[in-house]
Amino acid sequence: MAKWYLIRHGETEWNTLGKYQGSSDIPLSSKGIQQAEKLKEKMSSISLSAIYSSDLQRAYKTAKPIALSHHLSIQPLDLIREINFGEWEGYTAEELKKKYGKSYEQFSKEPFAYNFPGEGSLNNVQKRAKKAIEIIQKNHSTGNIAIVAHGGILKVIIIELLGWDISFYKQFWLGNTSISTIQLKQNGKHILAHLNDMGHL
């Protein structure tokens, strides 16, 4: 049996400003770096078999302290990059409402039902998430696996693993350096052990 530790990256300046980051390669803030160190301490008692990370620096640099403390090499995986929001990136929700009006408002209410710039739809994101899940499962059928990525793609991965409807995307939130733990069963009936654990902060 495998156990996956799904971890969101540390805080960035754009997080504090409420800007859409998406595929933009935004660095960790000083607070985000501190959060990554606290996360490392939290993960220190867990024997990890592997650590995967998005290739965007805010995720990779969150993963690095964990990897170093466990003497593991990070396995970068572009399939777990954040959702690409195209021309929306760099804007806050309020700015997007003013600039794009109804098209953004529809998405913000029902992101699973409306298209958006960049990646196009959550259906496309689901396809990417499934590929990432397949690769990691193929490489690691057992052991504790850390996966450091981004709020949007991690929510889609959780939804896929647990067999939830994509409409659940709006029903939960993942904080910076939060840990969500899922026990993977051979029968496919995976178990959510923890969601959005931020007790280390």
Active site members: 9, 150
- CA-based diameter of the chain, in Å? 49
Amino acid sitting at position 120 = G
Q: Which two tokens mark 8?
A: 């969101």
DSSP state of 167: G
Q: How many Å apart are CA 80 and CA 183, to the nearest integer?
A: 19
Cβ atoms of 37 and 30 closer than 8 Å: no
Q: Residue 14, Cβ neighbours under 10 Å: how many?
A: 19
Cβ atoms of 107 and 12 closer than 8 Å: no
Cβ atoms of 78 and 193 closer than 8 Å: no
